[in-house]
Amino acid sequence: MGLVLLAIIWLITFFSTYFFAAKTWWLPHGAAKAASFIDHQFALTYILMGIVFVAAQGALGWLVWKYRDGASNGPVDYSHGNTTMELMWTTLTAVLFIGLNLMGSHVWASERFAPAAAGAVPVEVTGMQFAWYFRYPGADAKYGRTDPKLMDPSAGNEAALGLDTADAAGKDDVITGTMYIPVNREVDLTLRAVDVIHSFFVPSFRFKQDAVPGLAIHMHFTPTEIGDYEIACAELCGLGHYKMHGMVHVVSQEDFDKWLAAREAEKQ
């Protein structure tokens, strides 16, 4: 049975590690500024944890086989432990775990502690069972007033957010069901939800943030590659959670300007 155990534990370790190392399944291609930092930290963590994983499972399999009853290993070592070793591995793990953590923290800080740079493209994202709405404030750079009493998702995008047409700041607000943003410019996001919690998750941007009713959460990120990227809701929001899907189109600055102008024109 010792040999069987050794074989099973080692095989499980081998297959698990193989699929990690071969990157058969991996993080999607990164297309935002944060991706390279995050992927680097991921790779580092993954290598360190991978080493510990292989070492620990390898040792477990080997030890139970080597010290099986009936093998000629001499008498059992009557020992209640070893304080020096105990202290050594406590210190080592503490340094490893906490050090790893501190290394990644500057990325978190740069993303979340500072506000978006001046000149970032403002977009408001609103989650609602089961769709995403995107609002651009228009030339005045101000979002118009919205009123919960006016919300009516069946009457089009503007009514869905309850845009108050009497408010001058809202006259030029563009509201869409698909997100367009220019490449290589920071996006200044405001995240909202009207009913329950949703989560705005764009895997390729390494971006995720819950949208919470009652809160306006400010976030920023910079897309770096032109293309179409999928949004998947990542917080359970009800029966349509699995299809609360959306698209981000990252386009060139000109295309973005053209697109926005066309939407403005449609409103007139």
Partner 1 sequence: MVAQDAHAHAAPQGFIRKYIFSLDHKVIGIQYILLALTAVFVGMFLSLLMRIHMIWPTAVLPLVGEIKPETYLSLLTMHGTIMVFFVLTTAPQGGFGNYFLPIQIGAPDMAFPVLNMLSFWTTFVAFVVMLAAFFVTGGAPLHGWTGYAPLSALQSAGPGEQLGADLWITSIAIFCIASLMGALNFITTTLDLRAKGMTMMRMPLTVWAWFITAILGLLAFGVLLSAGILLLLDRNLGTSFYVPLVVVNGQVMGHKGGSPLLWQHLFWFFGHPEVYIAILPGMGVASQLLSTFARKPIFGYKAMVYAIMAIGILGFVVWGHHMFMSGMSPYSAFAFSIMTMAIGVPSAIKTFNWLGTIYKSRVRFHTPMLYAIGFVSLFVSGGLSGPFLAQPVLDIPLHDTAFVVAHFHLIMGVAAIFGMFAATYYWFPKMFGRMMNERWGRIHFVLTLIGTYSIFMPMHYLGMAAQPRRYSQFTEVAYLSNLMPLNRFITYAAFITIGAQFIFVINLFWSMFKGPKASDNPWEATTLEWTTATPPPHDNFGGHTPVVYHGPYEYGVPGAPKDYVMQTDPAGVAAH
Binders of partner 1 among residues 40 to 99 (CB under 8 A) are 41-42, 45-46, 49, 52-53, 56-57, 59-60, 63-64, 67-69, 73, 75-82, 85-86, 89-90, 93-94, 97-98
Q: Which residue of 120, 151, 169, 183 would you call a contact of partner 1, by CB under 8 A?
A: 151
Q: Rule CB under 5 A: is residue 31 a binding residue for Cu ion?
A: no
- Closest by CA to 60, choosing from 2, 21, 17, is 2
| Cα angle for residues 192, 265, 268 (degrees, 5° grid) | 90
Shortest distance (Å) from residue 180 CB to partner 1 = 19
Q: Rule CB under 5 A: is residue 193 a binding residue for Cu ion?
A: no
Q: Is residue 201 within 8 Å of residue 232, measured between CB atoms? A: yes
Q: Which residue of 166, 168, 236, 261 would you call a contact of partner 1, by CB under 8 A?
A: 236
| 12 contact, one of Cu ion, partner 1, none, CB 5-8 Å limit per kind | partner 1
| Cβ proximity to partner 1, 25 vs 268, nearer residue | 25
Sheet holding 207-211, edge to edge: 179-182, 245-251, 227-233, 198-202, 207-211
Q: Which residue of 239, 254, 266, 268 would you call a contact of partner 1, by CB under 8 A?
A: 239
Binding segment for partner 1 (CB under 8 A), chosen from 31-39, 136-144, 179-187, 255-263, is: 31-39
Structure tokens at 100: 């790893």
Q: Which residue of 31, 160, 219, 244 would you call a contact of Cu ion, by CB under 5 A?
A: 244
| Cβ proximity to partner 1, 101 vs 253, nearer residue | 101
Q: Any idea which residue has 């534990």 for tokens?
A: 9
| Cβ proximity to partner 1, 85 vs 265, nearer residue | 85
| 8 contact, one of partner 1, Cu ion, none, CB 5-8 Å limit per kind | partner 1
CB-based contacts of 139-144 (< 8 A; 24+ apart in sequence): 139/172, 140/169, 140/172, 142/169, 143/169, 143/170, 143/173, 143/190, 144/168, 144/169, 144/170, 144/171, 144/173
Q: Is residue 206 within 8 Å of residue 38, measured between CB atoms? A: yes
Query: How many C-beta atoms lie closer than 10 Å to residue 93's C-beta?
Result: 11
Q: Rule CB under 5 A: is residue 237 a binding residue for Cu ion?
A: yes
| Cβ proximity to partner 1, 64 vs 183, nearer residue | 64
Q: At what angle do helices 33-66 and 2-21 cross, to 10 degrees?
A: 170
As a whole number of angstroms, the distance between CA 121 and CA 149 comes to: 29
Shortest distance (Å) from residue 40 CB to partner 1 = 10
| 226 contact, one of partner 1, Cu ion, none, CB 5-8 Å limit per kind | none
- Residues lying near Cu ion in the complex (CB under 5 A): 198, 233, 237, 241, 244
